[in-house]
Amino acid sequence: MPHAAERLVVIVLFEGVDLLDVTGPPEVFSLARRETEEASGYQVVLAAESMDPVTTSAGVRLLPDLTFGEAATKSIDTLIVPGSVEVDGDRGVRALVDPGLVSWVKSLAGRAHRVTSVCVGAHLLAAAGLLDGKRATTHWSTASQLAADHPAVEVDADPIFIRQGDVWTGAGISACLDLSLALVAEDLGEAVALRVARQLVMYLKRPSGQSQFSVPLEQISTTRRIEDLRHHILRNIGEPLTVVDLAAFAHVSDRHLTRLFKTELGTTPHAYIESVRVEKARHELESSDATLERIASACGFGTTDTLVRAFRRRLNTTPTEYRRRFRVPQVR
C-alpha cells in the first residue's frame, strides 16, 4: 500500500507509445524518493484501456497497472501523457492522435492536480482542449503540425519544457527527464532535484529556457545554393560575413541573397548569422574555460559587448549567467 503522503503519478499507456516517454519519468521519481529524507514520495502507475500487454514503438511490451476506468476513480497528483508518431513522407514524422485515447485523457485530466505531456503527447492534450489559449512545446519535428491542427495553442518549439499554470508540456526524447526533474523541484525542492540529476549523470539540470535545438544542425529543406551558404557561414563564422561577402560567394546580388534567405530560411542573412554565432558561443561556454573576449572573437562578434547584446536578445540572459547554469564539468 502506498504511503498516505505519496503523490500518485499516472502515465498513459497505449499501443505504439514511445518507450522513453513512458520509462524516463519513473526513473526520476524513483531516485527522488531515494534522495529525500522525507517519507513522502511518488507512486507511479501505468494506465491503459485494458490490462492486456502494450507494445511500445521500440517493440518492448509493458504491462499496465490499472485500466483508464480505474484510474478515473482516483485522485491523481500528476497525469503524464506520452506520444507516438508515424513516418510521414520523406523521413518526416506525424504525431498520432486517437480520438478514443483523447477522450480518456480529457477524463483523467479532470481528476489530476497537474497535467503534463512528454514529447508529441502535447498533440493529445491539444486535441482534448487542454492547451487552448496556452503556450506549449513539443518535439520540434511535429511543432508545425501542432500549430496547424490547433490554432488556439501558442506553439513554441524552442524550450525544453513550458509550464502554464497546472499544465506542463515537454519537448522530445531525453527532455522527459528535464521535465520530470522540474516537477520534483516543485514538489521536493531544488536541492533534491539536483541530487537526482547527479544520480542520472545529467551534469546539468536544464531550466525551461534552455533550447531543445541547435541552429547549425537544423534539418531544413533548401536549395543547394542555400546549403552551400550555410556551410560557408559555419566554416567562416569568425569572419565579418557581410551580405556583400555572402552575395559574392553565391554569385548573386545583395538583394537576391536577402530574398533567398527570407524565402528558404524565413529570416534575414544578418539574423541567421547571429543565430549561428550564438549557437557556437553557447557550445564554447558549456565546454570550455575560454574568456568572453576569446569567445567573442572566435564566434565573429568582435567585442564582448556585441556578444552580450546578442545573448540578451536571443536567450534573455548573459554569457556569464549562461555559463554558470550550463557549464559541463570536465572529467580529468
Tell me whether residue 324 is exposed, middle or buried, using C-beta atoms within 10 angstroms of its C-beta: 0 to 12, 13 to 18, 19 or more.
exposed
- Residue 201 CB partners (closer than 8 Å, separation 6+): none
Q: What is the radius of gyration, based on Cα positions, of the chain? A: 22
In this structure, the number of other CB atoms found within 10 A of the CB of residue 310 comes to 19
As beta bridge partners, residue 61 has 55
Is there a contact between 76 and 113 (Cβ–Cβ < 8 Å)?
yes
Q: DSSP letter string over 192-227?
A: HHHHHHHHTT-SS---TTSBS--GGG------HHHH
- Residue 183 CB partners (closer than 8 Å, separation 6+): 78, 114, 116, 168
39 residue type, one letter: A
Is there a contact between 157 and 212 (Cβ–Cβ < 8 Å)?
yes
Give me the active site residues, please. 119
Give dist(CA 224, CA 25) in Å, integer: 41
